Structure 1
Amino acid sequence: MTAPSVPPDEPDPSSRRSTSKPAPPSPQTRQARPAGPARVSASSGKGRPGRPLGQITADCTSTHRAWLQPVREAYLKSGLTMSQLGSRLHISKSKISELMSGRMYPRWEVLYPLAVELSIPYSPLYRLWANAALETHNKSPAWVEGSAARVTVTTRPTAPPLDYKAFRDLTQDGYREYASVFLPYEGCDTALDHAYDQLWLSWPNALASPDARRYAWKVVRATIMSRTPHVDGRPEFLHAAFETEVLQKLTDEDAAMKQLHETLALLKAMSRLPHPQFDVIVLHRLCGMPIETVSDLMGAPLATVRSDERHATRFLDIALTTEPDSEGNHP
């Protein structure tokens, strides 16, 4: 019997390709693909609470920064976002951002509720805000008073912490002696009041620092130096030469002129000392404080103060016996 013929339009079944799927390779023969980087979902990470604060604008004055920096620190500690803070205060997020960066100088009616929400003592904040408005932002007293008159005080004034008050009582005389070297009498009290207000606002930071005395000294020194005239980056305090105790006791005119000339040369040389050595010499030589008292006031180790005094004395001895150098370290 012959096999049935295949229709001419169909291929031979023996030559047809199988349409079934090939069997998957066994695990032994399957080649492992190199592992690629794991895909991470964009929403899997946890976002930080709130938008991080940018830097304060470069043209923000020191008196403006005196109250702005503590406000920024209080905001960061609160854990609130700008949107949340704005929602609570009914202030736009963009306005809060401008305030925090120093691009906008706010009215007190804007700053006061912010202080209450962030638990900032508003008495020292108001004094620093008003001072900066008058001194550096060309605001009139009428603007300051009008801005405050529209505020309804909803909380009792916060009393200064007891440890802060005790610290002020212990340090204000020494700080005033240092300030009197650079500022007139009235300017000393004003500068110290502003420095202590700034210290009150940042008092928790001072207590959390390695040494509250050192923290406070930096605040006080920066406040005094911001009000001291500078020439070529060096503090100008030559007027102190006319107020030295030695000069006041001299009755001979020639001796007084010689002493004045020597004191002026000393002050010029002192202005070239680095910051720590400069402060030690001012407190020790011009203010007449013992080295131990200088150490306590600056919050610096006694050994460090003694070392600074030795290095500064050596520098001054050389500077006063040689031709003055136009270069030097700026305090």
Structure 2
Amino acid sequence: MTIPSESPVPAPGPAPARPGRKLGPIADNVGSSHRAWLEPVRETYLASGRTLSDLSDRVWLHKSKLSELLRGLGLYPRWEIIHRLSTELAMPDWPLYWLWRQAALDAQKSSDWIERSGDTPTLTTAHAAPPLEHSALRQMVESYYHRYAQVFLLDEASDIAVADTFDRLWLSWDEALSSPDTRRFAWNVLRTTVMAKTPHLDGQPELARAAFDTVALQTLTTETDRMHQIEESLKTFQAISRLPGSQLDVMVLRYLCGMTPEETSSLLGVPLAAVRSDERQAIRCLESILCPPPETEGHTA
């Protein structure tokens, strides 16, 4: 896999200062699927220079309610409100709708409520297809993204995570293009999405599922050998889960997804030297955890 490097696009200048109170942060209890569409909407609003008062008149929603919506407070919003807001902010409808719909399902909203909360045929066709560069990137990396996501998530959940990644990337495509490397930006979106959906234990992602799907385990025939391999694999993956983020990603891509250093570098959007460095450091760390040096007996006087 070769993904061509991209020249940085100058970032847009800062948005003009707004009058009135500053928009507060997203509430702590907002879930990952809700954040998937809310964060790009907030970022687009903050970059637009528009005010809540201005948008309130156009969206037909009181300013205080609009502020709550942009913070994830109150009841889960109906699509008709989000659609009016996306139109004012010139955001593409389709990826926003599918992210909003997934979050609605996660919020235990019924299919009937989803259908009644907005007229989906009013979705515009102006943004029915993503930018060509987005489609090209997706074609090159999607299969690799699936392999990474499946290390952490069951098949259906991993498919949703990858689909959400490309929808979220579409919503933030201008920001992706203005970043130092589009590939790195896209990977960060994938990683954030996958980790938000991955069960964690003591703050570390669980890799127990991967331990039961190793090549070594599949080649064993006796139950005793399989149990021994499961125990060994669980220890290994528990150690891998404690690695720093960049080292974890490199080890997952190299040893669980079977990618070469060059493919890993291209997918992550980082120099090959950085991949090799992360791999060396990760191996040293795992060796110290899994194969600690024997303790030396103290000498008596």
**Under a length normalisation based on structure 1, what TM-score does the superposition of the two structures give?**
0.79
**Where do residues 215-254 of structure 1 align in structure 2 (5 Å cutoff)?**
215-254=185-224
- What amino acid sits opposite 1:70 in the alignment? P
Partner Cα distance (1:94, 1:100) in 2: 10
Are 1:293 and 2:256 counterparts? no
Greater helix content: 2
Question: In 2, are the aligned partners of 1:123 and 1:157 still within 8 Å (CA)?
Answer: no
- 2:78 is aligned with 1:107: yes
Higher RCO (Cα < 8 Å, 6 or more apart): 2
Partner residue, 2:150: 180
- Look up the equivalent residue of 2:165 and give its one-letter code: A
Match of 1:35?
none
Alignment partners' CA distance in 1, 2:230 and 2:50: 59
User: In the alignment, which residue of structure 1 is the partner of 2:87?
Assistant: 116
Q: Number of residue pairs matched?
A: 275
RMSD over equivalenced CA pairs, Å: 1.8
How far apart in 1 are the matches of 2:43 and 2:19?
A: 14
**3-state SS of 2:27 partner:** coil
Residue 148 of structure 1 aligns to a residue whose secondary structure is coil
> Could you tell me how far 1:255 is from its partner in structure 2?
3.4
CA distance in 2, matches of 1:155, 1:222: 29
Work out the CA distance in 1 between the residues paired with 2:137 and 2:216.
32
Q: CA deviation digits over 1:119-162, x for unaligned, max 9?
A: 10011101111111111x3322221111024x672732512000
Question: Contact 1:229–1:235 at 8 Å: present in 2 too?
Answer: yes
Aligned to 2:125: 156
Find the counterpart in structure 2 of residue 201 from structure 1.
171
Task: Work out the CA distance in 1 between the residues paired with 2:73 and 2:225.
Answer: 55
> For 1:100 and 1:258, how far apart are their aligned partners in 2?
51
Classify 1:299/1:154 alpha carbon distance in 2 versus 1 (closer, same or farther; 3 Å): closer
Distance 2:54 2:190 in 1: 35
In structure 1, give the amino acid aligned to 2:280.
R
Q: Specify the code of the residue in structure 1 equivalent to 2:69.
A: L
Aligned to 1:131: 102
Percentage of identical aligned residues: 49
- Comparing 109-118 with 258-267, greater Cα deviation is found at 258-267
Deviation larger for 260-269 or 278-287: 260-269
Distance in 2 of aligned mates of 1:203 and 1:126? 16
What are the within-5 Å matches in structure 2 for residues 52-67 of structure 1? 52-67=22-37
Alignment of 1:48 with 2:43, yes or no, is no
In the alignment, structure 1 segments of 5+ residues that lack a partner are: 1-46, 324-331
User: Which stretch of the first structure deviates more once superposed, 120-129 or 48-57?
Assistant: 48-57
The whole-number CA distance in structure 1 between the counterparts of 2:121 and 2:276 is: 53
Matched, 1:273 2:248: no
